[in-house]
Amino acid sequence: MAKSLINIKKLGHRVVLGAGDTFRAAAVDQLKIWADRTGADFYNKGMNTDPAAVAYETVQYAQNNHIDIAIIDTAGRLHTKKQLMEELTKIKRSISKKMESAPHEVLLVLDATTGQNAIEQAKHFTAATNVTGLILTKLDGSAKGGVVLGISDQFKIPIKYIGVGEGIEQLQVFNRKAFVDSLFG
């Protein structure tokens, strides 16, 4: 998320980060650090609160403070955990109550090292919410991530970014030709 934030801030937008991972204190702390580093606003409702309420109130905070973009960080989840997947649907409903057309972007982050399991992840996540883009991470190791092309085609979801390292500047806009060349190069 922090890498996406840098790209958005470069375009001159005001951003608020909403701490929707309310179960891990470290996630909230890390998000606050990134907000401070990038000059983004930060919205936190506290630990063990309803993530959908955090999402709703983050959008409300953005509207009240004339902020262009609200990014809500949610807990990492496995597609095999039905309750967590249902939470995504609840978050979407809560945001759209505050802003009818929201969310405007839902990015599914896939780990290049998961291989074919990424197809199942995409299947379940697209059923839970309207995924509008893919981010493929961990391409700095031996994983090639070729499965993401099939996912993009099968689910009609564009690949937006790829992560090629741990550094903040190593999230790159996806370039199909360069990616395919790297698969066969």
At 58-69, the pLDDT tens digits run 999 999 999 999
Instruction: Considering the chain, tell me which residue range(s) the CATH 3.40.50.300 domain(s) occupy.
Output: 1-101, 105-185
pLDDT surpassing 80 at residue 176:
yes
Residue 47's Cβ-side half-sphere holds a number of Cα atoms within 13 Å equal to: 7
Banded pLDDT at 2 (limits 50, 70, 90): low
CA end-to-end span of the chain, whole Å? 29
pLDDT surpassing 70 at residue 112:
yes
pLDDT surpassing 70 at residue 1:
no
Tell me the per-residue pLDDT of 68-104, one tens digit each, with 9 for 90 and over: 999 998 876 666 677 878 888 899 999 999 998 889 9
Pick the CATH number of 105-185 from 3.50.50.60, 3.40.1190.20, 3.30.1490.20, 3.40.50.300: 3.40.50.300
Please indicate whether residue 25 or residue 166 has the higher confidence score (pLDDT).
25
pTM for the structure as a whole? 0.83
Which residues, in sequence order, are bridge partners of residue 136? 110, 162
The CATH code belonging to domain 1-101 is: 3.40.50.300
